[in-house]
Amino acid sequence: MTLPPALRYFSAIDATWPAAETWVDGAFRLRRGKGGGGRVSAASAEGPFTLADIDRAATAMREMGQKSLFLIRNGEPALDQMLDEAGYQVKDPVILYAAPCAAVGGQTDGQAHWPPSAAAEAVWACGGIGKGRLGVMARVAGPHAAIELPGGVVFCGVDGDVAMFHALEVLTEMRRQGIGRALVVAAARWAEAQGAAVLSLVVTEANQTARALYASLGFAAVGRYHYRIEPEGQGDGR
């Protein structure tokens, strides 16, 4: 099958890892994250913009008690350049990966349910995934589940024909035993059962180990994005 274009996955991100609140203010979509991380706290362009629009969005983010953080997607070099010239620094270049669910072969005995068990929450906590990100998971409106194996857990949500998994975590002492691979396969089987045709994810460019795992399972890079963040103190007095 032909995989969907890159922009389709950004709507899947918003649906399967949702902000507490989102709205359009001028040229930018703003997100209130409530401690859920950059993906639910960054502003993204909705149309033509000026430096004044950037400053307006930055002010709104600061007033929410968030850092001034912008998401730069494929095909947005003008925004990237304008933020660079304004002193914003690149943060966390990310790759979008996707594969047909059916192409992620295999069966596992991962248990899918919601809410997560105490054991799953403990695994997530060991990886720094705490209350804020658990709150993000609980906000998903569509089908969603924590998929658990002993020593590992992953969260998966479905947005129409596209499923996306997040927060894959394996206890340090249980790594290199195939648990991560088994969790991805379990996510594919669960997503198929929910009617999804495609399984997707995002991973930082720097995470070579995870990228090698996803490539070995048949995932292909379908898009990229990064953030631009305002240096500490730059917004003072503005």
- The pLDDT of residue 75 is 86
Asked if pLDDT for residue 5 goes beyond 60, the answer is yes
Confidence of residue 232 (pLDDT cuts 50, 70, 90): confident
User: What whole-number distance in Å separates Cα of residue 136 and Cα of residue 159?
Assistant: 15
Asked if pLDDT for residue 233 goes beyond 90, the answer is no
- The pLDDT of residue 196 is 98
First vs last C-alpha separation in the chain: 50
- The pLDDT of residue 17 is 98
- The pLDDT of residue 8 is 96
pLDDT in tens, 92-116: 999 999 999 999 998 888 999 999 9
Report whether 151 contacts 170 (CB < 8 A): yes
* Between 236 and 225, the higher pLDDT residue: 225
Confidence of residue 237 (pLDDT cuts 50, 70, 90): very low
**Which domains, and CATH codes, for the chain?**
6-94+225-229 (no CATH), 98-223 (3.40.630.30)
* Residue 65 CB-half CA count within 13 A: 4
- The pLDDT of residue 6 is 92
Task: Give the mean pLDDT of 119-147.
Answer: 98
- The pLDDT of residue 234 is 56
pLDDT in tens, 38-76: 999 999 999 999 999 999 999 999 999 999 999 999 889
Please tell me the pTM assigned to this model. Answer: 0.94
